Amino acid sequence: MASVTFDKATRVYPGSERPAVDALDLEIADGEFLVLVGPSGCGKSTSLRMLAGLEDVNSGRIYIGDRDVTDVQPKDRDIAMVFQNYALYPHMSVADNMGFALKIAGTPKAEIETRVKEAARILDLTEYLDRKPKALSGGQRQRVAMGRAIVRQPRVFLMDEPLSNLDAKLRVQTRTQIASLQRRLGVTTVYVTHDQTEALTMGDRIAVLKDGLLQQVGTPREMYDTPANVFVAGFIGSPAMNLGDFRVENGEAVLGEARVPLTRATVDALDAADNGKVILGFRPESLDRVPTGGPGTIPVRVNLVEELGSDAYVYGELSGSRELAEHLGSGEDSDQVIVRIDPRNVPDKGETIHVRIREGEQHVFSSATGERLPQ
């Protein structure tokens, strides 16, 4: 096992003016499970491929442990990679697929057999060792691909969206198995996904990227409770955080009838570029449904109610003002507000409900830079 360090690692593809990965500074501890997450094109897979040696590093360095591997061939980096597609040999049995890399490396037959059986035991594949991949389910094939990586006993595991080809139920089951397996083996793991739910449930820490730039690194709880900027706030969490442009008046953030008190630290942090405005965020579970006409409430006209049994979510828009609706919503380019409500008391479509932000559960960002303001 070993730590991994990206030291201002940059990758610029030929013909492109903008780096796919721009001066990435990231330290991954020995035995840590780190998830790289972000939207399509953010540079997460490129970062993983740079670590694997499949992409050139135009500037900066990459270290595995204390060893500089920036210019080392992939086969000499002592890493094992699990891809989105299983890439199994269809004519080989499960056992032969898992042991093939060891066979090529000249490992004695008895040792290959021992390692394959141990990996199969860990992954509950013992009874399938003689089967061909076509006789396995998608989840079993993915476990075979995992087994092929495990038998090599690498210093670092690299996983590039390994669950993308599985159905929803199997994804939930397999991500739990992968996270448990990694903690059991204690091997440093870098896992790439675009699914922020996977990131929150699997990683010891999460690194969020956007346009090749690292936005924030932290534990799942840190990312959820204290997002560093508007992008991270809107990306992490499902359903997404509600975000809106509020005017600052007399120490309060004001939007329509809603008046949310701001701390002195927040007000003092504003500068001329903010133009007397802040971006205020609040999660669906941070809203309380209150009686009509209460002070500082936000009126929401219900468009849809999503009932999930233990939870219910209202999707609606600010009622009474088209202008306001254009400045408050959940998710990118959305004017819909999302509210988590009591599933035993759901409103009807077209009804207007009133909600208030729970004290201390708002997130305030600079309207000029999008960066989090002190609270």
Q: What is the C-alpha separation between 336 and 301, in angstroms, rounded?
A: 10
Check: CB of residue 111 under 8 Å from CB of residue 189.
no
Same domain, 243 and 225: no
Q: How far apart are CA 21 and CA 44, in angstroms?
A: 8
126 Cβ contact list (under 8 Å, min separation 6): 117, 120
Look at residue 228 and tell me whether its pLDDT is greater than 60. yes
Assess whether 156 and 267 both reside in one domain: no
Running DSSP on this structure, what letter comes out for residue 187?
A: -
Q: Identify the domain boundary among 179, 207, 233.
A: 233
Q: What is the DSSP letter of 12?
A: -
| Mean pLDDT, rounded, for 314-326 | 67
User: C-alpha dihedral over 63, 67, 69, 72, to 10 degrees?
Assistant: -170
Domain boundary among 233, 260, 287: 233
Closest CA to 248 of 275, 212, 210: 275
Residues 159 and 247 in one domain: no
Report in angstroms the alpha-carbon separations of 124 from 97, 127, 138, 277, 353.
Answer: 16, 8, 14, 56, 51
Q: Taking 90 as the threshold, does the pLDDT of residue 122 lie above it?
A: no
Question: What is the pLDDT confidence band of residue 196, given thresholds at 50, 70 and 90?
Answer: confident
Residues 258 and 222 in one domain: no
State the chain's mean pLDDT as an integer.
Answer: 90
325 and 200 co-located in one domain: no
Establish if 223 belongs to a structural domain: yes
- 1 pLDDT higher than 80: no
In whole angstroms, what separates CA 67 from the centre of its chain?
A: 28
* 10 in a structural domain: yes
Domain co-membership, 284 together with 215: no
- Encode pLDDT of 234-269 as tens digits: 999 988 899 988 889 988 888 877 778 888 999 999
Q: Based on the structure, what is the number of domains in the chain?
A: 2
* Same domain? 189 vs 324: no
pLDDT band at 322 (very low <50, low <70, confident <90, very high): low
Q: Is residue 374 part of a domain?
A: no
Asked whether residue 82 is domain-assigned, the answer is: yes
CATH number at residue 352: 2.40.50.140
Going by pLDDT thresholds of 50, 70 and 90, the confidence category of residue 178 is confident
Question: Region 140-145: what's the mean pLDDT?
Answer: 88
Asked whether residue 373 carries a pLDDT value surpassing 60, the answer given is: yes
Q: Domain boundary residue among 233, 261, 279? A: 233
CATH number, domain of 12, equals 3.40.50.300
Full domain range(s) for residue 310: 239-366
Q: What's the pLDDT score for residue 325? A: 45
pLDDT, tens only, 197-206: 899 999 999 9
Domain co-membership, 78 together with 225? yes
| Range of lowest pLDDT (28-42, 167-181, 185-199) | 167-181
Looking at residue 235, its pLDDT comes to 93
